[in-house]
Amino acid sequence: MGSVKKNAVLEAGRRLFLEQGILQTSMEQIAEAVPVSKMTIYNYYQSKEGLLDHVVDSLIEDSWALYREVMDKAKDPLEALTVFYEEQDRFALRVTQQFITDLVKFPDQMEKLLSFNREKIIPEFEMMIFKGQQIGQIRKDISPHLLVAFLTFIKEFTARSEWYNGLGSLSAVSEQLMIILYHGILEKDINHHSNSNDEGTK
């Protein structure tokens, strides 16, 4: 019975931490949401930070499972990239800006999340891009390392909702970002023209 209750506490903690932030969530609120006594939570997790540690573990676990699911289903790197882009809300696991802002105040847990990204997700992504280059889907003259850094930057930048103001609907903006990412901004003939002009001036 204990493990069912313990799990219920973890779920309630995770939901409230993500919905309203870590600092704004009290152990009383978590206890009421389950419901269990506050004492029971302390027996399971010792402290708010102890509970948060397990919440971060569960986020990492879910994130990795989702990631593997897409990688295993996609028939090639380009399909995987497209799924990651089109369904980025699903991969965010409802992690809010408030949660991340508060997490900074818990350096051990923040580091755990960052090192998961650094040591597991990013190398996997770079490998996927490298494979895409090997099979001729992605340009070979772009470093996988740089491309992942660029994608991360775009993802973090577009997560700020105020950035969209006046740019049109979310789906239209997403679609245009995809076009820029997949096709660049130059017309196909531009390179061809500039090459022939060079030859003319030689």
> What are the backbone angles phi and psi of residue 147, rounded to the nearest 5°?
-65, -40
> What are the backbone angles phi and psi of residue 168, rounded to the nearest 5°?
105, -170
pLDDT of 196 > 70? The answer is no
Average pLDDT, the chain: 88
What pLDDT does residue 191 have? 59
pLDDT per residue over 124-139, tens digit each?
999 999 999 999 999 9
pLDDT per residue over 152-169, tens digit each?
887 777 766 677 777 877
Q: Which DSSP letter does residue 184 get?
A: -
Token readout for 194 is 């500039």
Of 110-114, 136-140, 147-151, the one with minimum mean pLDDT is 147-151
Burial string for 120-156 (b: 16+ CB within 10 Å, else e) reads: ebbebbbebbbebbeeeebeeeeebeebbeebeeeee
pLDDT of 105 > 70? The answer is yes
Taking the C-alpha atoms of residue 93 and residue 127, their distance in angstroms, rounded to an integer, is 23
Decide: helix, strand or coil at residue 100: helix
pLDDT of 186 > 90? The answer is no
Q: Are 132 and 77 in contact (CB under 8 A)?
A: yes
Q: What is the pTM of this model?
A: 0.81
What pLDDT does residue 90 have? 83
Domains of the chain: 2-159 (1.10.357.10), 160-202 (no CATH)
What pLDDT does residue 180 have? 87
Three-state SS sequence of 28-84:
HHHHHHCCCCHHHHHHHHCCHHHHHHHHHHHHHHHHHHHHHHHHHHCCCHHHHHHHH
Q: Mean pLDDT, to the nearest integer, of 64-75?
A: 93
What pLDDT does residue 190 have? 66
